[in-house]
């Protein structure tokens, strides 16, 4: 009985922790790169403020709206849709493919930061808000919060940043 319970709990935890990554890339043919999105830079502060307005919203695997809670990619997609009228996929790796790389030294509010939190590239995403901080929906049982890029957990798993804003 204990073995079955443990197996069930372990499987449930794995599913919940996989929420940010989503179901995986869905490009037809496997190699097509979608066109980069180009958002008006004047929307940067609106994107950062929209992310901040969702602090303390509960984490929910597959969540896309404040009323139901968010996972990381659901949070980012909701913020970009509400603040910049941009539709993004509900998958952190696919979101990364839509942006242009930006150096961590040149991050601006509204840019997106990506992490490998599931032993899978680009499995977690957050919205950069300035001063080495970002808003994210970190994990099952958690809430949308501000974290630091200097936090050892995130610093070890940082994979880069992307921007969706026009140059």
Q: What is the per-residue pLDDT across 131-146, written as a single tens digit (0 to 9) for each?
A: 999 999 998 889 999 9
Q: Which pLDDT score, from 0 to 100, does residue 21 have? A: 53
Q: Which pLDDT score, from 0 to 100, does residue 22 have? A: 52
How do the domains of the chain map onto residue ranges?
2-22+35-163
Q: Report the candidate in 129, 92, 83 with the shortest Cα–Cα distance to residue 107.
A: 129
Q: Which pLDDT score, from 0 to 100, does residue 141 have? A: 87
* 113: pLDDT strictly greater than 80: yes
Beta carbons within 8 Å of 47's beta carbon, 6+ residues apart: 39, 79, 80, 83, 84, 109, 110, 127
Q: Which pLDDT score, from 0 to 100, does residue 160 have? A: 98
- Whether 135 and 146 have beta carbons less than 8 Å apart is answered as yes
pTM, two decimal places: 0.82
Question: Structure tokens of 63?
Answer: 């969540």
Segment 40-96, tens digit of pLDDT: 999 999 999 999 999 999 999 999 999 999 999 999 999 999 999 999 999 999 999
* 120: pLDDT strictly greater than 90: yes
- Whether 142 and 59 have beta carbons less than 8 Å apart is answered as yes
Q: Which pLDDT score, from 0 to 100, does residue 36 have? A: 63
Catalytic residue set: 72, 124, 136
- CATH homologous superfamily, domain 2-22+35-163: endopeptidase domain like (from Nostoc punctiforme) (3.90.1720.10)
pLDDT band (50, 70, 90) for residue 20: low
Rounded CA gap, 8 and 104, in Å?
A: 40
Rounded CA gap, 10 and 16, in Å?
A: 10
């Amino acid at each position: 009985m204990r073995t079955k319970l443990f197996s069930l709990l372990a499987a449930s935890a794995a599913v919940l922790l996989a929420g940010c990554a989503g179901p995986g890339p869905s490009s037809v043919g496997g190699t097509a790169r979608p066109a980069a999105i180009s958002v008006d830079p004047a929307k940067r502060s609106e994107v950062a403020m929209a992310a901040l307005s969702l602090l303390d919203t509960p984490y929910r695997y597959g969540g896309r709206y404040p009323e139901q809670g968010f996972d990381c990619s659901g949070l980012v997609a909701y913020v970009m849709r509400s603040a910049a009228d941009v539709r993004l996929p509900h998958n952190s790796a696919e979101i990364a493919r839509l942006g242009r790389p930006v150096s961590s030294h040149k991050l601006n509010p509204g840019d997106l930061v990506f992490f490998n939190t599931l032993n899978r590239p680009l499995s977690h995403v957050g919205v950069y808000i300035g001063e080495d901080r970002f808003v994210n929906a970190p994990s099952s049982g958690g809430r949308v919060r501000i974290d630091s890029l200097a936090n050892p957990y995130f610093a070890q798993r940082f994979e880069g940043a992307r921007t969706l804003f026009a140059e």
